[in-house]
Amino acid sequence: MIYYLIFVCLSLLSLWLAWKISVTDFKRRIIPDVYLFPLMLIGLIFVVFFPWICSVQESVLGAFFGYGLAMITGILFSKIRPDLDSPIGMGDIKMLSAGGLWLGVTGLSIALILSCIFGSAWGWYKKQKYIPFGPFFIASSFLTLIILRFLL
């Protein structure tokens, strides 16, 4: 009984943290570590004690993959266009690492594709230069959790 209560409490806390990350990134263009690091810790707890999406090894590999992919993207864009601001910030890089921790490599790949599609569509519709990646990645990650758990 206590097992399910802890699972529900951690799930609700992670939903609240994800909401705060999305709102803060949308309004202020920043992803605060005060919300991101507890979300990473909850993801690690879920993977170790509630392994319902991926194994611990796949989760750690997903975290490294997400961090590395985002870091390489940021470095490449800063080398290609040094006159512009970097299109990806450190908060986005850490958020991709947290997404890899929660979803594993396969889930992270699905969430990245979905978030890029949703973000591009929103940016095209709103005709904006800046597209906040956080809200789209969070929404795509939850959609990916549903896909991985119930559809695949």
Tens digits of residue pLDDT in 14-40: 999 999 999 999 999 899 999 999 999
Domain boundaries, the chain: 2-151
Q: Residue 60 is encoded by which pair of tokens? A: 């750690």
Q: What are phi and psi of 7, to 5 degrees?
A: -60, -45
Q: In this structure, how many other beta carbons lie within 10 angstroms of the beta carbon of residue 74?
A: 17
How confident is the prediction for the chain on average, in pLDDT? 91
What percentage of the chain reaches a pLDDT higher than 70? Answer: 99
Q: Quick one: pLDDT band at residue 79, thresholds 50, 70, 90?
A: confident
